[in-house]
């Protein structure tokens, strides 16, 4: 059983060979000290999750793998919280909310010896809103004398309370049976987000004639003949394994690159569909641009497609052999003007014809993938946000000053952040935060998303 660091419930596992299976995900939710970590330890069968008597331990949500009766699943301990001047409830709710959203089923843990508190009621509202299958765990029922306490929890409206002693193991079998009923056998698979393992998947995209097939031939090391080139026939997209920089890479959908697209009506539309399909399958996009020509609107549109698909991005300026001093000058101006939104993308200046700088392609792709998979621990992120907000508070609007209460990275590939704030954060301020996040943590070659949730 392998524990993952941090929290990224894409829930994918590299199974044997190339198969990627998404395991169902159970989020364990409850206020501090009800015994979530103890319970998670019980479920995964070892003592690993941090158990502390008092609230205030800063730790991240953690994902573990577990199995019961031969079925594998993932358990997310949403126990991370931080004491904040505005109260612990907001933080608990924030972690729980994200955990619930990304889970297939929820285990709600209540301390039966205490009963339901206001915080419990708030969490129940969140769970109801998410509409996920829920199992109610009445914890700390160490013996028959506390069983009656558990029965009171029927009143929460979450169905049968399962009396459990996480500490001693009492009742945990019945609880896990109920969890198995709540979890789907086969959770929905998300193709483009399959886990790392196996060759990294690269989409080589760009408008017609920028040099995609020339580049592909160059990196594949030989001229290849396009077969089955009958007009009007469509073939399934074909992926190609290519050795580069000592590693194997999967260039996806290369049939679409190698087949000559004739400029007939609708060709643009099909080119765009093909780009989407390649992006869907890829982890990183190499966007090829013809540097010898003025940047076209189609170039920026293709870059936007890659960014919106949430892929790592490398921009390769091709036909560098054709550039003179003057074109180079104008190219830089065009990039400054039209590509500011992807300043973070690594850039390589290549020539598919002469082979110039081909060796720079792989390091650029690797840098972009690294940024794409970067995870910032919650404690570190909040230390950073705390300093940032203290030095540069949000401007006062209508007599009020929105404050960032807490932030967390909800996922990677690409990095996704959620900020909980006391009021609406203006677009300019969000851009400022993104810029500072990039300065602090890198994120070279990856789009990042920041969403803000307002808490009263
Ligand atoms: P969390 O904050 O919800 O993750 O709670 P912890 O797992 O850290 O547990 C908080 C405290 O409750 C610890 O002192 C545990 O030993 C204790 N605890 C957890 N489960 C039980 C239980 O079933 N019975 C009793 N008596 N104590 C428990
Ligand atoms: P695709 O439509 O994007 O696959 O583009 P192709 O690979 O078919 O290339 C279009 C044209 O540009 C062909 O005539 C290529 O020979 C030419 N070309 C591609 N790369 C380069 C390059 O680096 N330098 C020069 N001078 N020509 C290139």
Q: Which residue's CA is the nearest one to ligand 2's atom 10?
A: 209
Among 140-144, 187-191, 374-378, the least confident range: 187-191
**Residue 77 marked in a binding site:** yes
Question: What average pLDDT does range 258-270 have in this prediction?
Answer: 62
Answer yes or no: pTM beyond 0.80: no
Residue 143 CA, ligand 1 centroid: distance in Å: 15
Per-residue pLDDT tens for 41-62? 899 886 555 544 444 444 556 7
pLDDT at 430 over 70: yes
321 lines ligand 2 (CB under 6 A): yes
At residue 125, the pLDDT reads 86
Residue 221 CA, ligand 2 centroid: distance in Å: 16
**Residue 206 marked in a binding site:** yes
Relative to the CA of 77, which ligand 1 atom is closest? Answer: 4
Q: Which of 210, 213, 214 to mutate to test the pocket of ligand 2 (most atoms within 8 A of CB)?
A: 214
Three-state SS for 19-88 is CEEECCEEEEECCCCCCHHHHHHHHHCCCCCCCCCCCCCCCCCEEEEEEECCEEEEEEECCCCCCCCCCH
At residue 368, the pLDDT reads 98
Written as six digits, the tokens of 308 are: 């919106």
Rounded distance between C-alpha atoms, residue 408 and residue 62, angstroms: 13
- Choose from 183-192, 206-215, 234-243, 323-332 the range with maximum mean pLDDT: 323-332
Residue 53 CA, ligand 1 centroid: distance in Å: 7
At residue 89, the pLDDT reads 58
Task: Tell the residue number behind the tokens 């807490």, with chain if given.
Answer: 406
At residue 202, the pLDDT reads 95
**Residue 53 marked in a binding site:** no
Residue 253 CA, ligand 2 centroid: distance in Å: 18
pLDDT at 193 over 70: no
Q: Which residue's CA is the nearest one to ligand 2's atom 18?
A: 211
Rounded distance between C-alpha atoms, residue 376 and residue 361, angstroms: 27
Which residues line ligand 1 at a C-beta cut-off of 6 Å? 30, 32-38, 51-53, 79, 139-140, 142, 165-167
At residue 122, the pLDDT reads 80
Relative to the CA of 208, which ligand 2 atom is closest? Answer: 2
Strands of 200-205's sheet, edge to edge? 240-244, 247-251, 200-205, 284-290, 312-318, 347-349
274 lines ligand 2 (CB under 6 A): no
214 lines ligand 2 (CB under 6 A): yes
400 against 317, higher pLDDT: 317
Q: Which residue's CA is the nearest one to ligand 2's atom 17?
A: 211
**Residue 321 marked in a binding site:** yes
Residue 210 CA, ligand 2 centroid: distance in Å: 6
Among 105-109, 118-122, 404-408, the least confident range: 118-122
pLDDT at 235 over 80: no
Question: What average pLDDT does range 212-222 have in this prediction?
Answer: 83
* Ligand with the closest atom to the CA of 92: 1
At residue 88, the pLDDT reads 56
Per-residue pLDDT tens for 3-18? 333 334 444 443 333 3
Per-residue pLDDT tens for 351-394? 999 999 999 999 999 999 999 999 998 888 989 999 999 999 99
* Residue 303 contacts residue 225 (beta carbons within 8 Å): no
pLDDT at 238 over 90: no
* Ligand with the closest atom to the CA of 322: 2
pLDDT at 266 over 70: no
Query: Which helix H or strand E contains 187, and what residues bound it?
Result: none
Residue 439 CA, ligand 2 centroid: distance in Å: 36
pLDDT at 286 over 90: yes
Residue 63 CA, ligand 1 centroid: distance in Å: 19
Residue 364 CA, ligand 1 centroid: distance in Å: 48
């Amino acid at each position: 059983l392998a524990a993952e660091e941090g929290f990224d419930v894409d829930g994918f596992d590299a199974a044997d060979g190339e198969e990627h299976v998404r395991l169902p995900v159970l989020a364990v939710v409850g206020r501090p000290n009800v015994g979530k970590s103890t319970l998670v330890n019980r479920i995964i069968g070892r003592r690993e999750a941090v158990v502390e008597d008092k609230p205030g331990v800063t730790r991240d949500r953690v994902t573990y793998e577990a199995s019961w009766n031969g079925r594998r699943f993932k358990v997310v301990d949403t126990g991370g919280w931080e004491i904040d001047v505005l109260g612990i409830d907001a933080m608990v709710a924030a972690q729980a909310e994200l955990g619930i959203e990304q889970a297939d089923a929820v285990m709600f843990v209540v301390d039966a010896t205490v009963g339901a508190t206001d915080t419990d009621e708030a969490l129940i509202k969140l769970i109801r809103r998410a509409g996920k299958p829920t199992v109610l765990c009445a914890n700390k029922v160490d013996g028959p004398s506390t069983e009656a306490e558990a029965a009171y929890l029927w009143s929460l409206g979450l169905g049968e309370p399962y009396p459990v002693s996480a500490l001693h193991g009492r009742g945990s079998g019945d609880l896990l049976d109920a969890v198995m009923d709540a979890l789907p056998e086969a959770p929905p698979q998300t193709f483009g987000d399959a886990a790392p393992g196996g060759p990294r998947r690269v989409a080589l995209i760009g408008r017609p004639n920028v040099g995609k097939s020339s580049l592909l031939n160059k990196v594949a090391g030989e001229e290849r003949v396009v077969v089955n080139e009958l007009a009007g026939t469509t073939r399934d997209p074909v992926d190609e394994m290519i050795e580069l920089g000592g590693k194997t890479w999967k260039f996806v959908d290369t049939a679409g690159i190698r087949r000559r697209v004739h400029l007939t009506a609708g060709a643009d539309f099909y080119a765009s569909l093909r780009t989407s399909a390649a992006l869907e399958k890829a982890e990183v996009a190499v966007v090829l641009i013809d540097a010898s020509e003025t940047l076209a609107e189609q170039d920026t549109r293709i870059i936007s497609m890659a960014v919106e698909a949430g892929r790592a991005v490398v921009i390769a300026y091709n036909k560098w052999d054709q550039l003179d001093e003057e074109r180079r000058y104008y190219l830089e101006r065009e990039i400054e003007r039209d590509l500011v939104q992807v300043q973070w993308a690594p850039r390589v200046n290549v020539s598919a014809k002469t082979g110039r700088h081909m060796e720079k392609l792989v390091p650029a792709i690797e840098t972009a993938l690294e940024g794409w998979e970067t995870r910032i621990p919650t404690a570190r992120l909040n230390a950073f946000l705390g300093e940032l907000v203290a030095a540069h508070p949000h401007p006062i609007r209508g007599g009020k000053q929105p404050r960032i209460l807490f932030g967390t990275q909800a996922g990677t590939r690409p990095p996704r952040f959620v900020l909980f704030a006391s009021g609406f954060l203006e677009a300019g301020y969000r851009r400022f935060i993104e810029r500072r996040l990039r300065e602090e943590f890198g994120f070279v070659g990856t789009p990042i998303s920041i969403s803000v949730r307002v808490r009263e």
